[in-house]
Structure 1
């Protein structure tokens, strides 16, 4: 396995783990603050958009670099 392959695999695995962990943090924040169902949904929407934007940016960069 080359260094490039290892880097690509570990980046995908670690970023996936980070996104899942951020989801857990948002859920825990909603639970501990007593936000209820609607408040937790708003937390996921607002804070999740930041994560979604980061992922979307990386996808766009990959498409523009490959073409």
Structure 2
């Protein structure tokens, strides 16, 4: 395994861990502020939009080999 392959694999794992941690932070924020169903939906919706945008960006960049 080359250094570049190791680095790419490690980066994907760290980003997945960061996303899971952000879900925990948003869940804790919604619970502590008693945001309710709509407020929780808005908070998680915004987080999910960011995650989906990151995934789409990663797919597009990988598909076209760069910028």
C-alpha deviations, 1:27-67, integer Å up to 9, x for none?
A: 1111111101221111100232122212211211111118x
**Aligned mates of 2:29, 2:38 — CA distance in 1:** 13
**Alignment of 1:52 onto 2:52:** yes
Unaligned runs of 5+ in 2: none
> TM (normalized to structure 1)?
0.83
RMSD: 1.6
How many correspondences in the alignment? 66
Runs of 4+, deviation exceeding 3 Å: none
